[in-house]
Amino acid sequence: MTDTKHTDDVTGVDTTGHQWDDIRELNNPLPKWWVYSFYACIVWSVAYWIVMPAWPIFMNGAWTYTGGVIGYDQRVVVENDIAEVAAGRQVYMDQISAQDLPTIQQNVELMEVALAGGRAAFGDNCAPCHGSGAQGSTGYPNLNDDDWIWGGSLEDIHVTLKHGIRWEADDDTRFNEMPRYLTDEILTADQVSDVTDYVLTLSGTAETTEASARGSEIFARECTACHMDGGIGNRELGAPNLADAIWLYGGDRASVYESIANARAGQMPAWGDRLDPVTVKQLALYVHALGGGE
C-alpha cells in the first residue's frame, strides 16, 4: 500500500491510493445529494430518539424505555381513537337502550346499526357454539330455522339471551328437565324402544307398528304433560316439538332412543350478566332477523 496520489490512465479518475496485487480502487465519491441526505437522516434519527419513545433501558430493576420529550404513546392514540368511535356511536346506543325492540325494528337506520353490532357480538360470543352463520350443530340449535324451543318472538329471544338456559347463577334462567327414563329405571329398555318407535311416527319418519302402538300408550302417560298430545311441544316449558323435521340431537332411531333413555340438557350462559344491555338487545334483533324470527 502506498499513500501517493495515483490517477487511473483509462478513466482519468484518482484512485484511493491503495493497491492489492496491482489492483487499485477508483475513488468515485458518492453523489453530494446522497451524502447530505445521509447526514440529514442521522441528524433526524438523533432528534427522533430525543422526541419520541426510542430506546429500551434498564431502570429501577426493570426493563422500560425512553419515553421521549413529547410523551407520545401509540396505545394512548389507539385508546383515544376507540373512545372517539364509541362517542360517535353513543347517539345510536342511547336510542337502542331507550326504545323497545319492536320500535327499533321499525326504524331502518337504527336497525342497520343494531344488525351490524349484533353480527359483531354474535361472532365474538355466540359463534363458538352456534356457528359463525348461526347454523348450529348437534346439541346447539340452528338459529336460522323457524323451530324455537323457548319461542321465536323478539321478546322470547331477548329473555333467552338475557337469562340463559339452565344457567344456575341466574334466578330467572330458562329451566326444565327431561327425566332419564332408562337410567333412572322409570321405563324398561323395551318400553323405551316402543316409545322411540312411536315418537318417530309423529314426524312421519316411521310407519305405525305394534311396537309404536304400545309406545303410544306410554307416551300418553309419561310424555304428553310436557310434549303435549301429538308431541307438538310446549314453548312455555321449553319442551321441543317432536312432530317436526328438526332434531336438535339427531332424528335417527338411535339418537331418539338415547334422548329418551338418558335425557338431554344443553346449557346457555345468561348473557345479561356478561354483556351490556344494548349489546344483548342488538343480539336479539340480529338473531330474530336471521330468518326464523316470529
Partner 1 sequence: MTSDASTAGPETAGAGLTSLIGEAEKLANPHGHEGETATAVNSEKNRSLYASRIKIYPKLVHGRYRLVKWVVMAITLGVYYVTPWIRWDRGPFAPDQAVLLDFPHRRFYFFWIEIWPQEVYYLTGLLILASVLLFLVTSLAGRVWCGYTCPQTVWTDLFIYIERLIEGDRSARIRLDKSSFSINKLVRKTSKHAVWLIVAIATGGAWVFYFDDAPTLAANLLTFSADPVAYLFIAIFTATTYVFGGLAREQVCTYMCPWPRIQGAMFDDESFLVTYKYDRGDPRGPHKKNTSWDGRGDCIDCGQCVAACPMGIDIRDGMQLECIQCALCIDACDDIMAKVGRPRGLIEYDTPANMDRRLAGEKERFHIFRPRTVIYMGVLVLVSAIMFFSLATRGAIDLNVLRDRNPLFVQLSDGSIRNGYTVKIINKVHEEQAFSIRIDGLPSAQLIQQGVSAGDSVKTAIPPDSLKDIKTFVILPREALGSLDGGEASLRFIVENISTGETVYNETSFRGPR
Q: Which residues bind partner 1 (CB under 8 A)?
A: 105, 131-135, 142, 144-147, 241, 244-246, 289, 291-292
Q: Which is nearer to partner 1, 152 or 164 (CB)?
A: 152
* Local structure of residue 263 (DSSP, 8 states): -
- Smallest distance, partner 1 to C-beta of residue 144, A: 4
CA-CA distance, 255 to 264, in Å (whole number)? 11
- Minimum CB separation of residue 257 from partner 1 in Å reads 22
Dist CA 245 CA 273 (whole Å): 34
CA atoms within 13 A on the CB side of 103: 6
The distance of closest approach from Cβ of residue 203 to partner 1 in the complex, given in angstroms and rounded to an integer, is 8
Q: Which amino acid is at 113?
A: V
Nearest to 107 by CA among 96, 116, 117: 96
Residue among 152 and 272 whose Cβ is closer to partner 1: 152
Q: Which is nearer to partner 1, 52 or 243 (CB)?
A: 243
For residues 129 and 289, which CB has a smaller minimum distance to partner 1 in the complex? 289
Q: To the nearest whole angstrom, how small is the minimum distance from the Cβ of residue 245 to partner 1? A: 4
Strands 56-59, 62-65: pairing is: antiparallel
CB of 289 to partner 1, least distance (A): 7
Q: Which three cell numbers stand for residue 97?
A: 337502550
- Strands (E) in the chain, as ranges, are 15-20, 23-26, 56-59, 62-65
The CB-of-240 to partner 1 minimum distance in angstroms stands at 10
Nearest-CA neighbor of 118 among 275, 268, 279? 279
Between 26 and 57, CB nearer to partner 1: 26
Pick between residue 136 and residue 179 the one whose CB is nearest to partner 1: 136
| Antiparallel, parallel or unpaired: β 23-26 and 62-65 | unpaired
Lookup result for grid cell 340438557: 265
